[in-house]
Structure 1
Amino acid sequence: SKAFCGDALASLLVKGEIGLTDPVQTHLPDGFVVPEKDGRTLRIIDLATQTSGLPREMAQAGGTPNDPYAGHTKEAMIAAMHGEPFLFPPGTGALYSNLGFDLLGLAISGAAGKPYATVLEERVLRPRGMVDTVFNPRPGDEGRLMQGHNFDGTPLPFVPTPMTMECASGLYTTPNDMLKWIAWHLAQGGSEDDARRIIDHASLVRRDGLSPALGLDDGGAPMDAMALGWVVVEADGNRPLVLHKSGGRQGMFTYVAIAPTRGVGVFAAINQFNAGGFEAMVHAVNELIYQLAPR
């Protein structure tokens, strides 16, 4: 979901509808007050590169086992920004934050003047023919869903995705749609598309100098830099530059990795929370890329 959000953000950046160094405050709905931390203002680039300084999750209440995100509302997000929300000044460290991408989705919506899901549909999904990528299953989709399982093997329920979480989490898709999405990222041609790919894949924030740098090394190698939602692992020896993103929710672990300079991409998913299984999946995907696309 976060890599898709970076994709959508790139479309706004190319058209000049938003800027990487824009203060997030300027694009959020009424009611939000984003404080500074040690004189540093929270910017769009800080959200998109996981350098916001915000915690991984925000406090919320009112959820149930079948709807655990019922308390994930705009009001809860406004409350989460009160007081001292930052763990460190924005832009000085890197820490995986779902809350940061929740805010990014609202900022994209504010800049575009329409809901984030509409931006994603109009600028990413529809142009690439991705007809089976949605935030909540449609009538008739239930029988097509891959069942997720908890660490103990018990099935986990399918749960709704609130609008406030769409940039960070909850996107359903299919292997065929993922192939279309990967193919676009590996393609060349079209001045606007090329500009979007350059912005989306660029190493915008390098690890060097960031303190802390946590929660971004689960792709089989330490993070070297951050792009728009992507974790960047620089070329090393015979291995090409790789952009990757992992995901996990409701008994699913997913992993997508692309080597854009070599025209190779892989998507994989497993349907049980299993740390060893996740590590094996990531290793298999990375090794496949290294074998198919050596430097």
Structure 2
Amino acid sequence: MQFLQHNSQPFLKSIFTGLLITTTCFVGSAQLPADEIKPILEKEVYQKRSPGIIVGTIDATGKRQIVAAGTWKEKGQVLPDEKTMYEIGSITKVFTSLLLADMVLKKQVNLDDPVSKYLPASVQVPVIKNQPITLLHLANHSVGWPRMPDNYDPKSLDNPFADYTIEQTYDYISRATFDYAPGTWFKYSNVGYGLLGHILSQVAGKPYETLVKERICTPLNMPNTTITLAPAQKAVLAMGHNETGTAVENWDMPAIAGTGALRSNINDLLNFAGANLGIIKTDLYPAMQLAHTPRISKRPDDGEVTLGWTLVKSKEGDEYLWKDGTTAGYRSIMLLNRTKKTGVVILANTLNPINDLAYHILAPTVPVKPYRYIWALHDLVLETAKKKNVDKAIEEYKTMKVSRSPGLIFDPAQLNYVANDLRIAKKMSAAIKILELNAQEYPDNSMVFETLGEYYKRSGKKKEAMEAFEKAVALDAKNEHAKWLLEKTKN
């Protein structure tokens, strides 16, 4: 998930993930005890990886450890605990895939059902090389759809899916086509899982959230896994932060809830982990086993995709299942050793990566990747722009670049984040000046121009917006979102 600036629309293509990672080469060994996990978390909080981190582990006997460091509050030091709520992003997908597996076993749907069977006749779902798109293709990310559709233009960049509609999803899937048949390749798609959750909700005749609660959360005693927060849950919702440490808004995604809308806490997710490992007995276990069955390979050495999960094997033959999630201010991961029946869940109120911590805790021979805070340049430029003015900030940036001040990293992400923070502070004209500087500094970067066009558009500068979008498309002919924004702005 390396991208420029995450709270601006173009970079949502990467942010909303269930992060795709390179498979770690696991070597079997016992998971870490609590007294060894604690100093690791404290070090990571100190190094600004995340304001707060909470870890839960479970072993084959059902014994749990919960260890935390840092704070979940924006102001004040309040240690995360088993009640603290987090957005879990794409971990939602394995709830959606479990619903699918359960409905398959109950003969309510079939994996090979074409999605067109469950959609209005007005939705023209393409059939490519005589292969219709099926529920299985949605569940194992093999339709061919990209991570994000092209037709999103939210009212708020800070809550980008709140007003994305199912009609927009229908519009996208009616237009999207490819030169290979569904089921041929793995390609991670949030829109696919959003559609899958919608279809399952339609089949059941109930909202997605109700379906998850009735069929999964109630049987597994998971009262705090939800989309709509009760007052008591909202009171303990961790404040999310982007990579630079800036507090960000929570996300809502009513139309595509099945791809990433759930919130939860460590207790509930340990219940889910234990059930998937077979430690906690449940009538859902046959459906879980169906959801764990490999369906399609990822890239070489990246493991296999099941229904929602990724399955990898260690050198010693241990099988690991993992799923992670990301929203604008949160990271989460669930990593399960199916062979030894051990698992780890990590929740953090940050956009910075945490997967390496999970691997190390469950298989200590896998090292923690050293984290280094890289946003000093952003901090200096933003502080000058706020305390003085944007012109002084630009002068300071140019001076630092000439002198190559030690410890500063110069790349498009630094200025994009400065612009984003100025926009949040309602300093749009200053934000645009920073993005214009970014375009001067990185004239070959399509995403820089897409972001600039976005800010021009939202400032009523139609001509400038179209020119920026045209430049973005000229630099990257595959930038479908910039193309869509260009046509929408023209019209």
TM-score where L is the length of structure 1: 0.85
Map of 1:104 onto structure 2: 196
Equivalent residue, structure 2, for 1:159: 251
Q: How does 1:66-215 map to 2 (within 5 A)?
A: 66-86=158-178, 88-162=180-254, 164-187=255-278, 192-207=283-298, 213=299
Q: Counterpart of 1:248?
A: 326
User: SS at the partner of 1:267?
Assistant: strand
- 1:130, distance to aligned residue in structure 2 (A): 0.6
Contact 2:279/2:341, CA 8 A, preserved across alignment = no
CA distance in 2, matches of 1:202, 1:26: 24
Structure 1 residue 131: Cα displacement: 0.5
DSSP 3-state at the match of 1:81:
helix
Say if 2:97 is the partner of 1:6.
yes
- 2:363 is matched by which residue type in structure 1? E
* Residue identity matched to 1:74: I
- Over 3 Å counting, the alpha-carbon distance change for 1:26 and 1:167 in structure 2 is same
1:192 positional shift: 4.8
Q: Residue deviations 1:119-141, cap 9 Å, x none?
A: 21111011111100111322232
- Greater alpha carbon shift after TM alignment, 142-151 vs 96-105: 142-151
1:101 counterpart letter in structure 2: Y
8 Å Cα contact 1:67-1:159 kept in structure 2: yes
TM-score with structure 2 length normalisation? 0.52
> Cα offset for 1:68?
1.7
SS in 2 for 1:255: strand
Amino acid at match of 2:129: D
CA deviation profile, 1:142-167 (whole Å, cap 9, x unmatched): 320111111111001123231x2211
Give the match for residue 315 of structure 2: 237
Gaps of 5+ in 1: 208-212, 291-295
Distance, in Å, in 1 between the alignment partners of 2:246 and 2:171 is 34
Contact 1:128/1:180 (8 A) holds in 2: yes
**1:73 Cα deviation from its structure 2 partner:** 0.3
| Paired position in structure 2 for 1:278 | 354
Report percent identity of matched pairs: 26
Matched, 1:26 2:117: yes
Q: Is the 8 A contact 1:136 1:161 kept in 2?
A: no
Summarize the Cα distance change of 1:194–1:246 in structure 2 as closer, same or farther, 3 Å threshold.
closer
> Take 2:335 and 2:317, find their aligned partners in 1: how far apart are those partners?
13
- Asked whether the 8 Å contact 1:252–1:270 carries over to 2, the reply is yes
Counterpart Cα distance in 2 of 1:5 and 1:137: 19
Asked whether the 8 Å contact 1:265–1:289 carries over to 2, the reply is no
More helix by share: 2
Quick one: structure 1 residues 42 and 154, their matched pair in 2 at CA, closer, same or farther if it must change by over 3 Å? same
Given that 2:275 and 2:281 are in contact with CA atoms closer than 8 Å, whether structure 1 keeps it comes out as no
One-letter amino acid of the structure 2 residue matched with residue 13 of structure 1:
V
Cα distance change, pair 242–122 in 1 and its aligned pair in 2 (3 A):
same
1:257 matched residue in structure 2: 335
Instruction: Give deviations 1:102-123, integer Å, cap 9, x for gaps.
Output: 1111221232232222221111
Name the SS of the counterpart of 1:280 in structure 2.
Answer: helix
Cα distance between partner residues in 1 of 2:235 and 2:282: 40
Q: What amino acid does structure 1 have at the position aligned with 2:105?
A: V
1:66 to partner: Cα distance? 4.4
Where does residue 210 of structure 1 map in the other structure?
A: none
Please report how far the alpha carbon of residue 271 of structure 1 lies from its aligned counterpart in structure 2 after TM superposition. 1.9
Mapped to 2, the partners of 1:128 and 1:72 lie a distance apart of: 31
Pair member with larger Rg: 2
> Using a 3 Å threshold, how does the CA distance of structure 1 residues 65 and 11 change in structure 2: closer, same or farther?
same
Q: Deviation of residue 6 (structure 1)?
A: 1.0
Work out whether residues 145 and 176 of structure 2, in 8 Å CA contact, stay in contact via their aligned partners in 1: no
State the Cα distance separating 1:86 from its structure 2 match: 4.1
Contact 2:324 2:332 in 1 (8 A): yes
Q: CA contact under 8 A between 1:149 and 1:271: conserved in structure 2?
A: yes
3-state SS of 1:20 partner? coil
Distance 2:282 2:247 in 1: 46
Tell me by how many angstroms 1:14 deviates: 0.9
Superposed displacement of residue 25, structure 1: 1.1
Cα distance in 2 for residues equivalent to 1:104 and 1:288: 36
Offset, 1:70: 3.0
Letter in 2 for 1:245: K
* Matched letter for residue 156 of structure 1: V
Which AA in structure 1 matches 2:339? T
Aligned match of 1:293: none
State the one-letter code of the partner of 2:193.
F
- Structure 1 distance, partners of 2:178, 2:361, is 35
| Whole-Å separation in 1 of the counterparts to 2:160 and 2:180 | 28
1:183 Cα deviation after fit: 1.2
RMSD: 2.4
Matched residue type, 1:56: R
Aligned residue-pair number: 275
Following TM superposition, the consecutive aligned residue runs of length 4 or more in structure 1 with deviations greater than 3 angstroms are: 84-88, 188-194
> Contact 2:345–2:358 at 8 Å: present in 1 too?
no
1:148/1:155 contact within 8 Å kept:
yes
